[in-house]
Chain A
Amino acid sequence: MNVLGRECLINNLRDGHLVVSPLLSEDQLGAASIDLRMGNVVLMVRARGSSHVDPQVAKKRAAGTAHDAAFDRHQKHERYDIPFKSRFLLHPGSLALVPTLEWLQLPANLIGNVTARSTWAREGLSIATATLIEPGYQGIVTLELANLGQIPIALFPGLRIAQITFASVTGNTQRPNRSQYDLSFEPFQGNIAKPDDLPFIPDDPPAAATD
C-alpha cells in the first residue's frame, strides 16, 4: 500500500481520476495529504433523545412498525444548519457529526484515510472514529468530531479541521453486494444492528434498560 505524495495527488486531481472539490487554497495540498474543511451541517445527540446506545433496542425498533424504525433513526440527533461565518461550539465530551465542505470521488484503486489536523488536535479536537473512505466512494465525508479538551472549541464552517491521505489498493475492490456507492449528501445516523449482526443480539428486552 503506497501513500500518494503531493505530485501524485495533484496529477490525480488534475486529470479527474480523484476528486476533492472545491480546493480553495494551495495550502490545502500537503506533502502527502489534502486538508478538508468543515461543512455546514452539525448533528448532535438530542438531550431528550435515546437514553443509551443499544443494538438490542435498535433491533427491536427495526422489527417494529415503519414508524418505530423511522422514529428511532430521526430522533437521536438534533440537526443544525450552520451558515458561513456562524459559530458552532463543541463542548468537552461532546460528539458532533459534520460533513466536509468538499465532495469526494474515489476511484476503484484508491482508499482514503481521514484524520484530524495536528493544529486542531492540539486544542483537543479529535476526529477519532471511522476514518477509512472506501474505493468508489462518492459524496461528502462525515467527520466525527469530539472535544477531548477541558474547554469548549468554537468552530466555523469552512475551517480546515481534517486531512485525508490516499493510498493505492491492489486487486479488485468491487463488492458484489454493493454495485456502486450511493451519493452521500450529509451525515446521518449509522445502523448499529445490521442484518448480519442480528444473530448476536438477543430478542428479550434488556433487563434494566429502557428506551
Chain B
Amino acid sequence: MTPLEFLREEFRNVDRALEETLRYDYGPEQSKDFYIECAGRLSRIKLEVDNDGLDRQTIAALRGDLNYIAALISLIERSHLGEFSWPFADDLRELAKPLLREQNLLGGQSEPIIHVVADAPGYRIRYEDAVRSASSRRRFTIVLFPRPLKDHVLLHAIFGHEIGHAALEATNAGALLRSQAYPALTLNVLADEISVDSWLNAFDSPDDLKTELAAYHQRMGRPFRLTSDFRDSWIHELICDLCGLLLFGPAFLAAHRTIIEPSHPNPLKFELTEPTHPPYAVRHKMLCQAMRLLHWHKTVTLHVEGDVHSAELEFVSSLTRDPFPNWAKVFSEQEIDSAIHGLKSVLSELVYAPPSSGTLAKLVRRLNRRLPPIVDGIDSIDKPILVSTDFRQILHAGWLFWDGRKQLEPQSELDFLKTNRLCNQALLQQRAINEFLNA
C-alpha cells in the first residue's frame, strides 16, 4: 500500500467512525453541531485526498488533520448525558457563549460549538486554538467534567476559572480581557523578572521556599528565574481566578478553596521546574482582597433572617479567612480594584449578582428542610408563585448552607453529596420553571 493509498484508507476509516457515532444516543441535539462541523472538515479534506498528485509532505500533513478529527470524534462518544449534570452544562453554555462568540471573515458572528464530555480527573475547558482556516467553519470549545464528580454541582463553580481561560483565548473577548486586567496586575511584583526575583528572595519570603530555591540553584547550577513566559502564565491564571469570582460569586471562591487547596501540600510554594501556576496562597489572598472590594465579604441576609443570617456570617468569614503571611500579598487593593473594574467592563451583564436577603434565606431554608433550593409557593389567590432564579444563586445558597449549616435550626444531617444532589435537582426544576415562564 502506498502512502497515498493508506491516506485514503485512513480517510474512509475516520469517515466511517464519524457515521458510527450516529448509532448511539448522546442526548438529542447536543452532538448535532459537533457532527456537522466534523463532517464539514472531512469533506474539505476529501477534496485534497482525492488529488492524485500529492507529495509526501502534504500526505503527512493530511494524516495529521485526520488524526485530529479522529480525536474529536471520540469526544462525541464521551458526551453521554447521564454522566454529567446536563442542567448545569446548559447553564454553563449560556454563560460562556457571549464570551466565546467571535467575528467571522464574512463580518457576521460565529457561535462556538460548546461540547460537554465527562472525563477524568479535573475540570477543563479546551478552547480550540489551532483553527485550520481551510477545513473548519466553527471553533470547538470542549468542556470536560470530571466523571467521578457527576453530581457535585457546587464544585462545578470552578468552571468560572476555566471560562476565563477559554475567553482569554477567544479573539474578541480575549484581547479585551487582557487589555483591561493585565496592566493593573503588572505594576508591582509581577512587573518583570527582576521584581519577581526580589519578591521571591525578600527577607520575609517563606523559609521552605528559600530552601527549595537554594536546592534548585545547586542542582541546576544557576538561580531560579521566573521567565516571562511563566510570568505571563501566572498573570493569566490570576486573571482567570478573578473572572471566576466575577462570574460565579462567592460559590467560586468556595469551590476554588475546596478543589485547589488540597493539591498544594505547601500553599506558599510552587513548582520550580514547570512554574505555570503561582502559589496557592497568592491566589487565595488575591481572591479574598477581591471579595472585600466587591463587598461580598458582607452578608446578603439581614438580621431578621435569624439562623440563616448566622450561617451566612460563618460562611463569609470562613470563605475570606486568610491564614497566609503578608509575603503572599502581591497586589495592592488599588491594583485589584482596577483589574476588577476592567474585567467587569468586559463581562458586563454576565457578572454575578447576589440574590436578595429574602431569596437567599428561602433557598437556604429549603436545603435545610431537605428540599431542592428553588423559590416557589402559592399566592393569596391560590396561584403558584414562579420565580426565575439564576443558577449561580442556587450554588451560592448551596455553599452557604454547607459551610454555615451548624448555625441552622434544626441542624441538618445532609452530607455533601446529598446537598449537591438537591442543588442539582433544583437546577433541573429551575429549567422547567424557566421553560414555563418563557413559553
Residue positions of A touching B, CB distance < 8 A: 10, 13-14, 16, 19, 21-26, 28-29, 37, 39-40, 79-81, 83-87, 101, 103, 105, 138, 140, 157-158, 183, 185
Contacts and interface: CB of A to CB of B under 8 A. Distances in A.
Interface stretch (B55-63, B132-140, B378-386, B395-403): B378-386
Given A37-B432, A84-B432, A101-B432, A13 B370 contact: no
B274 interface: no
B377 interface: yes
Contact of B433 (A10, A24, A28): A24
B422 A183 contact: yes
Interface stretch (B158-166, B235-243, B423-431): B423-431
Interface in B165-221: none
15 contacts: A14-B377, A21-B429, A23-B376, A24-B386, A25-B436, A29-B382, A79-B82, A83-B86, A84-B431, A84-B432, A84-B435, A101-B432, A103-B425, A158-B435, A158-B436
A29 B383 CA distance: 9
B371 A22 contact: no
Given A26-B383, A37-B432, A80 B377 contact: no
A81 B384 contact: no
Contacts of A26: 382-384
Interface centre among A86, A103, A157 (most CB of B within 10 A): A103
A15 to B, nearest CB: 10
Interface residues of B, number: 31
Nearest to A13: B378
B344 to A, nearest CB: 33
A81 B435 contact: no
A157 B27 CA distance: 14
A98 to B, nearest CB: 13
A21 B377 CA distance: 8
Interface string B58-85: 0000000000000000000000011000
B374 interface: yes
Interface in B1-34: 25, 27-29
B418 interface: yes
B298 interface: no
A22 B427 CA distance: 12
Nearest to B430: A22
A103 B86 contact: no
Contacts of A185: 421, 425
Given A26-B383, A103-B371, 17 more contacts: A13-B378, A19-B371, A21-B372, A21-B374, A22-B376, A25-B436, A26-B384, A28-B384, A29-B382, A39-B428, A40-B428, A81-B27, A81-B82, A83-B81, A85-B435, A158-B432, A183-B418
A158 to B, nearest CB: 6
Nearest to A158: B432
A25 B378 contact: no
Contact of B372 (A10, A13, A86, A103): A103
A105 B370 contact: yes
B25 A80 contact: yes
Which of B81, B383, B435 has the most chain A CB atoms closer than 10 A to its own CB? B81
A176 B28 CA distance: 46
B321 interface: no
A37 B425 CA distance: 14
A37 B377 CA distance: 17
Given A13-B378, A14-B377, A83-B28, A24 B372 contact: no
Contact of B436 (A13, A24, A80, A140): A24
A-B pairs with the 8 shortest C-beta distances? A81-B81, A23-B384, A86-B28, A22-B376, A24-B436, A81-B82, A14-B378, A26-B383
B315 to A, nearest CB: 23
Nearest to A85: B435
Contacts of B435: 84-85, 158
A24 B384 contact: yes
Nearest to B384: A23
Contacts of A85: 435
Contacts of A19: 369, 371
A40 B425 CA distance: 11
Contacts of A87: 28
B432 A105 contact: no
B28 A22 contact: no
A33 to B, nearest CB: 15
A25 B384 contact: yes
A14 B385 CA distance: 11
Given A101-B432, A185-B421, A22 B370 contact: no
B421 A10 contact: no
B434 to A, nearest CB: 9
A11 to B, nearest CB: 9
B202 to A, nearest CB: 52
Contacts of A183: 370, 418, 421-422
Interface in B356-388: 369-372, 374, 376-378, 382-384, 386
Contacts of B86: 81, 83
A103 B28 contact: no
Nearest to A101: B432
B432 A22 contact: yes
Contacts of A25: 384, 436
Nearest to B366: A21
Contacts of B384: 22-26, 28
Interface in B77-101: 81-82, 86, 90
Contact of A22 (B25, B383, B429): B429
Contacts of A40: 428
A27 to B, nearest CB: 10
A81 B30 CA distance: 12
B361 to A, nearest CB: 14
